[in-house]
Amino acid sequence: MTKKISATKTDALSFEASLDALEGIVTRLEAGNLPLEEALAEFERGIALTRTSQKTLMAAEQRVQILLNDDENAPLSDFTPEND
């Protein structure tokens, strides 16, 4: 089972650990058997994890843009994932 994480500790988690924690929160909330206060606390932790993860993704995107912009002749194009 995924460990419960306080909203103040979300910045210390890796992106992957944040996703794992979010999946656990969603599972517990979707089960629908939490008392209201506990459900609200889980929701609050989920929001904090989501915000932290979004910041991490934005920072990674900026790093990619900087790396691509280092080569002025390299055209930027949208990323299209390959379906294997």
**CATH fourth-level superfamily of 13-69:** Exonuclease VII, small subunit (1.10.287.1040)
Does residue 2 have a pLDDT over 80?
no
pLDDT in tens, 46-75: 999 999 999 999 999 998 888 877 766 666
Domain locations in the chain? 13-69
Nearest to 47 by CA among 16, 26, 17: 26
Mean pLDDT over 2-30 rounds to: 81
For the purposes of burial, counting CB atoms within 10 Å of the CB of 66, is it exposed (0-12), middle (13-18) or buried (19 or more)? exposed
The residue with tokens 């969603």 is 26
Does residue 82 have a pLDDT over 60?
yes
Check the CA dihedral 18-22-23-27 and report its sign: positive
Nearest to 47 by CA among 6, 17, 14, 3: 6
